[in-house]
Amino acid sequence: MPRIAAVQMCSSADLATNLASASQFIRTAAENGADLVVLPEMFALMGNDAEKLRIKEAFGSGPIQSALAEIAKAAKIWVVAGTIPIEGANKYKARAACLVFNEHGEVVARYDKMHLFDVTVTANESYLESNTIEPGDNLVVVETPVGKLGLAVCYDVRFPELFRSLFNRGAELFALPSAFTVKTGAAHWEVLLRSRAIENFSYVIGAGQGGLHANGRSTFGHSMIVEPWGSVIAKQEDIHPGVIYADINLNELHRIRQSIPIAEHKKIFNLKV
């Protein structure tokens, strides 16, 4: 059976250190038989807004993309590269781009984070992602050796209509690079991932940031992989860096979908309010 992996990191504000760490985790995943590995959101840098924009790259070139292409090719593994700041239309902002590299080091898909994290978590903790990020507007499903993979990022998980749209396009798995806050992660991380898996009878690969970062932000960790019936089949039980694995069974996925044929029973396709 195909094997998938999710990487958990505590990325710093040092690009070189983060790239070295991500590369080692990718090698480890490949050595343990993974066909595809998912990196967390902002794996390359967890810094302030100025640092984020300073490392943004043109799509198709730059040290982050080059490093990922090299390690994917060397390890012969597909890599879902969390998010990378990629140049967009607004020169003062970036796209939070999730790139998919095949085993030859070629970029075969790109998804730009659609839902931006502009929220107040507590009186002392708020985020305004739109200060530096411009949203994407395209849905992406890519054919991979482990199945048809739909792409989403972190806050996207709160919008089930996105996942149903990916399901409608044939997705069998969802990659979800993330950097959940401690408060929202403790309350909602697992239930959201399990809900998206159950609603769509799909695998969900949640690769998270975990720990206290140099910019003062704390993230929840607890990366996990959920199977189509909603059970957590792999989990990092803490905030520490590491890799988790799961073998997937697409025959079982399609058996479930045939026994409860939600694709045939759905009634609402384009609801406007």
The residues annotated as belonging to the active site are: 41, 113, 154
Q: Identify whether the C-beta of residue 44 lies closer than 8 Å to the C-beta of residue 66.
A: no
Where is 37: in which H helix or E strand? strand 36-38
Q: Identify whether the C-beta of residue 6 lies closer than 8 Å to the C-beta of residue 207.
A: yes
Find residue 147's DSSP bridge partners. Answer: 144
The secondary structure of 203-249 as a DSSP string is: EEEEEEBEEE-TTS-EEE---EEE-TTS-EEEE--SSS-EEEEEE--
d(CA 50, CA 30): 34
For residue 220 the two structure tokens come to 């929840």
Q: Identify whether the C-beta of residue 206 lies closer than 8 Å to the C-beta of residue 175.
A: no
List C-alpha distances in Å: 83 to 42, 56, 120, 170: 5, 11, 22, 23
For residue 35 the two structure tokens come to 């066909």
